[in-house]
Structure 1
Amino acid sequence: MIEFIASAMKHENNVAIRTSEADFTYKDLLERSGQIAASLLNGREHLNEARIAFIINPGFEYVAMQWGIWRAGGIAVPLCVKHPFLSLKYVIEDTSAEQLIYTDDYHELISPFKSFENLRVSNYQNLHEDAADLPQVDADQRAMILYTSGTTGKPKGVVSTHCNLKSQVNSLVEAWQWTSDDHILNVLPLHHIHGILNATCCPLSVGATVEFLPKFNPNTVFDVFMKGDVNIFMAVPTIYFKLVTVWKTFSDEQKSEVKDRLSQFRFMVSGSAALPVSVLEEWRGISDQTLLERYGMTEIGMAISNPLIGERRPGYIGQALPGVGARLYDESAEVKEEGVSGEIQIKGDTVFKEYWKKPEATEESFTEDGWFRTGDTAVIENGYFRILGRNSVDIIKSGGYKISALEIEEVLRKYPGIKDCGVVGIPDEEWGEIIGGGLVAEKDEIDLEKLNSWLREQLPNYKIPRKYLFLDDLPRNVMGKVTKKELKTLF
């Protein structure tokens, strides 16, 4: 028996899913997922890892579909509800999906799939077989394929087994002390590991409640918060930025009420992208909550986290989670010294099984002794990991120095007159790379000479080349962030 089913049976009367329409108990979830499993089996004893793709909005139907696939012994392939047809087609064809399940909202989008050979297309509402004896699903069976583009080539299907998912969930349940009393508002997309694992599988594994919104809206999020049920929230930095922006429009009385309510939350998490310290500090002022930053990937679930109880350091991702091995590795040796950069490498049962139908890519992603190469560079300072950036994108190699684009961005955001920025390395014959910075200014002009001098004072350990680039000189395909006329580049 899959572990989450046993847990659900212990909490049958608890509210598992809350939507704007209704509450659904764990008993409802067990009954509906059993019907779906029986329908997918269609008389067979076991799906034997058949790939079942589905495109369903976040909510009860999504979770019931996911559980149904797993209970029938299939591999769940959740599709992004915002992807165009060609992106969906790539996933369907790459996984050789046996079935595609959809809800009415996506009837028009998926209609062309009805002519595909060897693909059964079904409406979710038609999955109503009486649940019979369902198969035994082993821990080493493949459970899910999520697609991640990485930094090069076509998206790769990341295959996780039931053992992988169980290990990832158990690690977070222990670290973040999940209980059946918890209630999380989930506004994250459910084709990514953050929304699926952290904000859905974890709470449902302990009998807690997951609340979904039909669509993200900052004002609606605050409305839900103020009802008093939610005590955990997870989001990406952009969402926190939007919430801060809306909060600033509230009256003084509303701001006080919001702060009092948010201060009662058990914890709040930020992930999936680097959290600017400025946003962390603003949110702390609003909520009395220090956002818990953590580090994870589709391939590894969550691997490193700031502590639930203890010091949460702004700009740091924390320490290895329970059951996770984490190390830094540079060139040919493990980094033992603090303050020296290296690639984050991860080992343990939380690490994925393979890239779907890509044995060479899978092999290249692991070291000879079995550590997964994340492609992220970090340092350890006073026992905490601090991300410097992606090896291929955010680490600028200039004049023999390794320079973190993320660190420069964080410093630039503190300069008066700069609203936001993006930093990349630009090829250069003399330096190897020079630093290109795109700035969004509050006013039309920034004195680049003064800014350059100030930045050198802030980053004395970096040998920043004294070179300048202007927007017209930057190839557009080098830096996707350079899209507005007000952006200027420097150094």
Structure 2
Amino acid sequence: MTGQWNLGNLVEPLSGRRWDVDTTHREISTRVAAFLADGIEPGDRVLIHFGNNLEFFAELLAIWQLGACAIPVDARLTPFEVKKLSNAASARFAVVNDATPDASQNAARGMVVRHTTDGRDAAGNALAAAAWPRLDDDALILFTSGSTGEPKGVVHTHRSLLARWITLQQSLGVAAYRRTLCVLPTHFGHGLICNCLYPWLNGCDLFIVPPFQPELIMRLGTLIDEHDISFMSSVPSVWNLALKTAAPPKHGQLKRVHVGSAPLSANNWQQIQAWTGTQDVFNAYGITETGSWVAGTSGEAVVPESGLVGRPWGATIRVVEHGDSTEPPSLTRASQ
């Protein structure tokens, strides 16, 4: 992840807050300076206790700028779960905001805890002082379980993330993603790596809302029209509610929709096409280890069919027998 990022604008439709590219760079620089003042070093691991807002993305890129590794966590986790994840990842820093419960902050005892607004008076040259990370530095740890058993995390390097974004650009282009809406959580590979970072780091505008809020899904069509949304990704449960309660968009700006992370039936697929007004509803397949979207139905006319996931996007997919029941390690390296 070397060189400058090609960022788009960041927008919170519900709050009305908006950061243009220059503002985002200033916010990143402020956080880089604050981390440096707290003694962060390349390779340190940082829990981010919040998501789906402007500050989350500034924290993420500041962490990467410093050669450290970000660990987004679900803000709803109990202190016990937070402690388990921090121990599994050997986290040294934690970033919180006003909504982070005191109990979760206390669970981070032993780590350096910083509020996202700390360091507002930090020097403006922090970006110049920080070294860019190397391709094989750890960039991101995403936990896929741990609330009922031992936490299991996937470690992505900058190389594995770039490999996914480059192949997506080659397979899908970026034109359809120019105004992207994210209704998925940013501690979730599908929501973060593909729905948010793929468009945003390719210069597209990113519109961020709190995840899975029923009152928001019930006005999804209006939200799409008000902000001229051209793309959104989703999961089937979003559509289970939207198709029953939300009026469809009317302006015809929505060009593409992805649905992933759970099986999509042919009936629901056709209903989503009718509601969105576009045939470009892609059933996307992926797992956290591959950086989420790794296959989908795209580039040709597709008749919706239950279980159809289309062609690989910059990948080779093989079906193999699995007879090894050995428990996987707590941290798994992502494929590249």
Q: TM-score range by the shorter chain?
A: 0.7 to 0.9
Normalised to the residue count of structure 1, the TM-score between the two structures is 0.60
CA distance in 1, matches of 2:69, 2:44: 6
Instruction: Kindly indicate whether residue 216 of structure 2 is the aligned counterpart of residue 220 of structure 1.
Output: no
Instruction: Kindly indicate whether residue 119 of structure 2 is the aligned counterpart of residue 120 of structure 1.
Output: no
Where do residues 465-476 of structure 1 align in structure 2 (5 Å cutoff)?
A: none
Please state whether the residue corresponding to 2:6 is helix, strand or coil: helix
Structure 2 stretches of 5 or more lacking a match?
Answer: none
1:289-320: CA deviations, max 9, x gaps?
34211111111122211114443643200111
CA distance in 2, matches of 1:43, 1:22: 28
Amino acid of the residue matched to residue 222 of structure 2?
D
Please state whether the residue corresponding to 2:117 is helix, strand or coil: helix
1:199 match: 195
1:230-273: CA deviations, max 9, x gaps?
010111100011100103xxxxxxx5xx3543x54211010011
Q: Relative contact order, CA 8 A, sep 6+: which one is greater? A: 2
Instruction: Kindly indicate whether residue 145 of structure 2 is the aligned counterpart of residue 149 of structure 1.
Output: yes
Q: 1:35 aligns with which of 30, 35, 38?
A: 30
1:352 match: none
Please state whether the residue corresponding to 1:91 is helix, strand or coil: helix
Q: 1:189 aligns with which of 185, 190, 205?
A: 185
Q: 1:90 aligns with which of 84, 89, 92?
A: 84
Amino acid of the residue matched to residue 186 of structure 2?
L
CA distance in 2, matches of 1:69, 1:183: 25
Q: 1:185 to 1:125 in 2, by over 3 A?
A: same
1:415 match: none
Normalised to the residue count of structure 2, the TM-score between the two structures is 0.86
Please state whether the residue corresponding to 1:201 is helix, strand or coil: helix
2:318 match: 327
Kindly, what percent of the aligned residue pairs are identical?
19
Q: How far does residue 63 in structure 1 lie from its aligned partner after superposition?
A: 0.5
2:296 match: 305
Where do residues 175-324 of structure 1 align in structure 2 (5 Å cutoff)?
A: 175-179=171-175, 182-214=178-210, 216=213, 217-247=216-246, 258=248, 260-261=250-251, 263-290=252-279, 291-301=281-291, 302-311=293-302, 313-315=304-306, 316-322=308-314, 324=315
**Conserved? CA contact 1:312–1:318, under 8 Å:** no
Q: 1:36 to 1:331 in 2, by over 3 A?
A: closer
1:352-385: CA deviations, max 9, x gaps?
xxx8765xx77xx9xxxxx89xxxxxxxxxxxxx
**Conserved? CA contact 1:17–1:211, under 8 Å:** yes
Amino acid of the residue matched to residue 127 of structure 1?
G
**Conserved? CA contact 1:36–1:68, under 8 Å:** yes
**Conserved? CA contact 1:18–1:24, under 8 Å:** no
2:17 match: 22
CA distance in 1, matches of 2:57, 2:207: 12
**Conserved? CA contact 1:95–1:356, under 8 Å:** no
CA distance in 1, matches of 2:35, 2:329: 22
CA distance in 2, matches of 1:274, 1:168: 22
CA RMSD of aligned residues (A): 2.7
Q: How far does residue 285 in structure 1 lie from its aligned partner after superposition?
A: 2.6
Please state whether the residue corresponding to 1:222 is helix, strand or coil: helix
Structure 1 stretches of 5 or more lacking a match?
Answer: 9-13, 248-254, 333-354, 366-370, 373-491
CA distance in 2, matches of 1:63, 1:136: 17
Q: 1:318 to 1:108 in 2, by over 3 A?
A: same
Instruction: Kindly indicate whether residue 47 of structure 2 is the aligned counterpart of residue 61 of structure 1.
Output: no
CA distance in 2, matches of 1:356, 1:172: 29
**Conserved? CA contact 2:224–2:249, under 8 Å:** no
CA distance in 2, matches of 1:331, 1:109: 41
Q: How far does residue 287 in structure 1 lie from its aligned partner after superposition?
A: 2.6
2:105 match: 111
Amino acid of the residue matched to residue 101 of structure 1?
V
Q: How far does residue 277 in structure 1 lie from its aligned partner after superposition?
A: 2.1
1:368 match: none
1:2-52: CA deviations, max 9, x gaps?
35x3423xxxxx5233442321112111111122122212276x7221001
Instruction: Kindly indicate whether residue 154 of structure 2 is the aligned counterpart of residue 158 of structure 1.
Output: yes
**Conserved? CA contact 1:113–1:121, under 8 Å:** no
Q: 1:312 to 1:158 in 2, by over 3 A?
A: farther
Amino acid of the residue matched to residue 264 of structure 2?
L
Q: 1:331 to 1:271 in 2, by over 3 A?
A: closer
Where do residues 388-403 of structure 1 align in structure 2 (5 Å cutoff)?
A: none
CA distance in 2, matches of 1:166, 1:356: 24
Where do residues 368-383 of structure 1 align in structure 2 (5 Å cutoff)?
A: none
Where do residues 367-446 of structure 1 align in structure 2 (5 Å cutoff)?
A: none
**Conserved? CA contact 1:53–1:79, under 8 Å:** yes
CA distance in 2, matches of 1:82, 1:137: 30
Matched pairs, number: 321
1:475 match: none
